[in-house]
Amino acid sequence: MTDDPKLWRDMSPEEKGALLLAHHEGKVIEFCRPRGTPDCPAHSWRAQRPIWTGGLAYRVRPERETVKLYGSEGGAWSYERVYFDTLCITYDLVDGEPDCASIRMEKIK
């Protein structure tokens, strides 16, 4: 994804307040486990009812976001690029839904 997550425990009171206000106003709050967390090598945002815990990162879901997937023919795909990846698929999410008209694929070295 496009940004680095900030854990709840590392947020300032103002950042926490802004998230809580956005939640109260009905905006979609997403959470993720940061990179390197066991069973979650790459962060990916999920929209669920927030549980507000120090070990998770939170954000208001952006209206539009660009996503990149890396992989190779017949191989696994991931949000993290590794040395043997040969392809990159880029697409946009609009309000959390894929914009199929925005899908692009390119070869990478």
71 forms beta bridges with 87
**pLDDT at position 78:** 86
In the structure encoding, which two tokens stand for residue 41, read together? Answer: 């090598």
Closest CA to 11 of 60, 61, 73, 81: 60
In the structure encoding, which two tokens stand for residue 82, read together? Answer: 């590794």
7 forms beta bridges with 57
Amino acid at site 7: L
Q: pTM score, two decimals?
A: 0.69
Strand 64-71, strand 87-94: pairing: antiparallel
> Do residues 67 and 93 touch, judged by C-beta distance below 8 A?
yes
pLDDT by position in tens, the chain (length 109): 445 788 999 999 999 999 999 999 999 998 988 765 544 445 577 887 888 989 888 999 989 989 899 999 888 888 888 889 999 999 999 988 899 999 999 999 8
Report the length, in residues, of the chain.
109
Q: Where are the alpha helices (DSSP H) in 1-98?
A: 13-24
**pLDDT at position 38:** 47
Domain-by-domain residue ranges, the chain?
Answer: 8-60, 64-107
